[in-house]
Structure 1
């Protein structure tokens, strides 16, 4: 069975990912399932692939210095990747974004292949130019951004990162 964002199942998964019930349960369940599937499949399968291309980000904890593995949706681009710190639309930046700011040297496993990369926070004009491409790639990012409007007391600007080969 084919899965992916262009399939009927993928479109339904994208719509469900914005539902309030998923917003409460998904963030604690999906990453655990993705880590398990990733391990069992040798890095080739994650449930999130029904919605978007996925990577397993290997990074270092900002405060702990411990190795971390985080399954993330990504927009592949040439020999690099784009990441959006959407945190499933919740308030507060996801922990992995602070980790990349503190320790930008990372590795990713994408389609079973591991690569060494360096992360950089994308801001200003470059971010503004890239944002429409990211929200076209996955419209959920626009909804997550709306939910986190920086003009609101609990709002924030979603962090965007570019991962390039080191």
Structure 2
């Protein structure tokens, strides 16, 4: 029931504006307290992505909704429908080695930017989990970056 409510509300700009400020810090705190066992308050399938900052070289953590695909994870740089790409997606383009914290496990991954038919297939998978991505894409006026995160171990 909460998932359906979140999916309905997710399409609205006021929801995205409010949640993009509130949820990421809350998700990071909850993930730390639960050692990564709970992210996004347990409502949607979520992970914490750790990238290397392309300017700072420091680890950068970002909670994200994901979709499983084979043995990998699919994430999208929606940035809640903002006109700019999220920083973490630029970090992955610069340094594709990253890690995900998922269900209490830290998993090293390598990111691949999805293109062509593979991107279209992954887009459809993402929409099944969070239909609001279509509203975010329209509102942002840009092509949202989709990444497949493949485990490296």
Q: TM-score, normalised by structure 1?
A: 0.85
Provide the C-alpha distance between the structure 1 equivalents of 2:61 and 2:15, rounded to a whole number of angstroms.
Answer: 22
How many residues end up aligned between the 2 structures? 152
RMSD, aligned α-carbons:
1.4
Unaligned runs of at least 5 residues, structure 2: none
Question: What CA deviation, in whole Å up to 9, does each residue of 1:94-133 have, x standing for no partner?
Answer: 1100000011001101111111110011112221233222
User: Structure 1 residues 48 and 90 mapped into 2: Cα distance closer, same or farther (>3 Å)?
Assistant: farther
Of structures 1 and 2, the one with the larger relative CO (CA 8 A, separation 6+) is 2
3-state SS of paired residue (2:83): coil
- In the TM superposition, structure 1's runs of 4+ consecutive aligned residues that sit over 3 Å from their partners are none
Unaligned runs of at least 5 residues, structure 1: 1-7, 149-154
Provide the C-alpha distance between the structure 2 equivalents of 1:157 and 1:48, rounded to a whole number of angstroms.
Answer: 28
**1:19 equivalent among 12, 15, 21:** 12
2:127–2:133 CA contact under 8 A, matched in 1: yes
2:43 matches 1:46: no
2:58 matches 1:72: no
